[in-house]
Amino acid sequence: MVIVLERGIPLRDRENLKSFLERNHFKVNEIRGEEETIFGAVGKMSIDPREVEILPGVDRVIPISKPYKMASREFKKEDTIVEIPNNWGQIIKIGGTRVTAIAGPCAVESREQMMEIAKRVSSAGAVLLRGGAYKPRTSPYAFQGMGEEGLKILKEAGDAYGLPIATEIVSVEHIPVMKDLVDVYQIGARNMQNFELLKRVGELEKPVILKR
């Protein structure tokens, strides 16, 4: 549910409201807009919304019955804009009404390949360069990717054309190598149940593409 707070709500009332929701097993996200502040309370509806509406400092309560509550317009009216800096001092913005193109090969195979592809995708209007350095394969005998060398080639090609890079991470073991090179992480469908990987990548404070 979405709880719209009264303007000028005292800090004590704000903290009491948050504690009340957390005691009832809600995860609380505070969002401050230009006109109003809201609490987005995510969890099973274990209490009557009217119990929340009568609390001090609450203006109104909006129950949300839709799935994907945190992505709903009731939860957040403004567009989510993800900002990614490139090495040219520019900010790449993803979200809103603009379509963002991310392009590149399935796998990084050589420096020459990546420099040529970066040139072409940049001239075609893409704003991020993708490429696989670590490839999840069903066969241990298949090409597994170039690893750290491939990451460095991908980064070099992206930097040459002002393109931040996106690549798939398949193991928590790769985080130390990737964290200073990668701008956007991809997590493939087969790793959507790899909860340790999801948690660790979520702590890196970089954008993540979930390929559901």
Name every residue whose Cβ is closer than 8 Å to that of residue 131 and which is 6 or more positions away in sequence. 104, 105, 106, 107, 108, 114, 117, 150, 154, 165, 167
Question: Given this model, what pLDDT does residue 212 score?
Answer: 74
Distances (CA, A) of 166 to 20, 42, 133: 41, 30, 10
Assigned token pair, 94: 């993803």
CATH topology of domain 2-71: Alpha-Beta Plaits (3.30.70)
Residue range(s) of every CATH 3.30.70.1140 domain in the chain: 2-71
Secondary structure (DSSP) of 47-86: S-HHHHHTSTTEEEEE---SSSGGGSTTT--SPP-EEEE-
pLDDT tens by residue, 55-86: 999 999 988 766 666 677 766 778 889 999 99
Distances (CA, A) of 74 to 2, 41, 61, 198: 7, 12, 11, 26
DSSP letter assigned to residue 105: -
Kindly provide the b/e burial profile for residues 82-101, where b requires at least 16 CB atoms within 10 angstroms of the residue's own CB: eebebeeeeebebeeeeeee
Residue range(s) of every CATH 3.20.20.70 domain in the chain: 82-210
Rg (CA), the chain: 22
Question: Given this model, what pLDDT does residue 79 score?
Answer: 86
Q: Which residues of the chain have pLDDT under 70?
A: 65-70, 74-75, 137-141
Question: Given this model, what pLDDT does residue 148 score?
Answer: 93
Question: Given this model, what pLDDT does residue 86 score?
Answer: 92
pTM of the model: 0.69
Question: Given this model, what pLDDT does residue 178 score?
Answer: 96
pLDDT tens by residue, 156-178: 999 999 999 999 999 999 999 99
Question: Given this model, what pLDDT does residue 163 score?
Answer: 97
Superfamily of domain 82-210: Aldolase class I (3.20.20.70)
